[in-house]
Structure 1
């Protein structure tokens, strides 16, 4: 970890004004973290990720975080960090000049016993430190219940990876997105990666219960909750995925819900087709 931090400090000294806005061909304003790719590559190569890297071919973390304009000096919220796959990359990347916060569900709105969510949020920094060895002061955790005034309007970025389907299925998407909006600065951005259904897929397949959502529905949901689309990317697209599995997205790796049944077939397809979207908090 110390060797990584020394390399990170050197790279930070070579980067000036890393986040810029460029005009895309379609006229959309695209935010990119110019010069951050080397730092992201360093973070992706840390020993803490030795078991995570096998999935980089599907999840493209370097390209995804660069697209979302996540710079190393930012305050970043990771919604529903789960097992820490992205946390183990974000924590060392942000440790020198930025800050990572694990954002957990509001325990009052989830359709399950949320009594231990506050404990999970409190334990998040310790887990990250154990995984990565970063300074404990560079990591925090909180639920989206009773957001402290000091946290409101203080985040540069929030990232939401493959969780919107659960939020939709549990009927908590509106309240959780609004809470995240409260956390963001006036010019803050929220990045979304989500399993993507076909544009003409029926509601019964795109209500969250199968893991897939229609991209147009996601954009509309975010617009209704105070965001505007800045840019979209095909970084995490997978044309091999027909997105019509009877058992939902969990048919594919890494879950392999059908166990050994046709496992080679699903392994050859890989992980799901995914939309990658970037939204700005609007007035």
Structure 2
């Protein structure tokens, strides 16, 4: 009698560990460069008021600072610093071995009597002890040390429109002299259409970028770079910058000029 065939048995599946190839691998995050780390630390400094930090994203502060190249130990002039938003950031970046001058044109004080209040207040604030206020004729722009950077944000049109083209040109030449060889001049301003370039600085508080470039180059600077970080193609350049429909969102040009360094002899 034939024996019944023994039923075949299947091996019990054993749990297996997922292969290493199947495990998602997270690439290590590269550490920020020293320049970017310095910017991040300056923006995170608790001495900055909350009103400033709330504006950082809208003003693209980190991108602008990286573009400008301001670093520890630099001597920087913040020309017409307004509330001191950028002055405070510069102070934190340049550190105790650098200095920041809040420069106010004496010619504009009669029109804007509170213009010097912020740099004066910062100069006596222990948290910003590396800053000082300078009130000077704009056509004779100068501070007590050679500068690495001169920065002006949303102000070139005021000098050009209020004081005139000749004063703006003289300011550019004075800034050229105040900078070290190789120093930079950063100009940020609201964009005007070439069609109304002659009137926009006074009527709209805007300026044609081509006009800025020509004047600054005529003073001896070279145009090194432009940044599009503040450009807004939705701005048609017809509204005053204070109009609620565009305020805080204007199309702005960001220009970096450099004072040429002397060529090294062979």
Using structure 1 for the length normalisation, give the TM-score: 0.70
Change (3 A) 1:114 1:207: closer
The alpha-carbon deviation at position 98 of structure 1 amounts to 1.4
- State the partner residue of 2:168: 173
Change (3 A) 1:115 1:217: closer
- State the partner residue of 1:234: 228
Change (3 A) 1:149 1:169: closer
- State the partner residue of 1:64: 64
User: SS where residue 36 of structure 1 aligns?
Assistant: helix
| Root-mean-square deviation over aligned CA pairs | 2.9
Aligned pairs, number: 225
Structure 1 residue 120 corresponds to structure 2 residue 98: no
- State the partner residue of 1:23: none
5+ residue gaps, structure 1: 1-13, 16-33, 257-265
User: SS where residue 52 of structure 1 aligns?
Assistant: helix
Of 141, 158, 166, which aligns to 2:150? Answer: 158
Distance in 2 between residues matched to 1:85 and 1:149, nearest whole Å: 20
Any idea what the Cα deviations from partners look like across 1:41-65, whole Å, max 9, x if unmatched? 1211223231122322331111111
After superposition, residues 22-61 of structure 1 pair within 5 angstroms as 35-47=34-46, 48-61=48-61
Change (3 A) 1:178 1:57: same
Computing the radius of gyration from Cα coordinates, the structure with the larger value is 2
Using structure 2 for the length normalisation, give the TM-score: 0.74
The alpha-carbon deviation at position 116 of structure 1 amounts to 6.7
5+ residue gaps, structure 2: 1-30
The alpha-carbon deviation at position 95 of structure 1 amounts to 2.5
Of 243, 246, 251, which aligns to 2:237? Answer: 243
The alpha-carbon deviation at position 150 of structure 1 amounts to 4.6
- State the partner residue of 1:197: 192
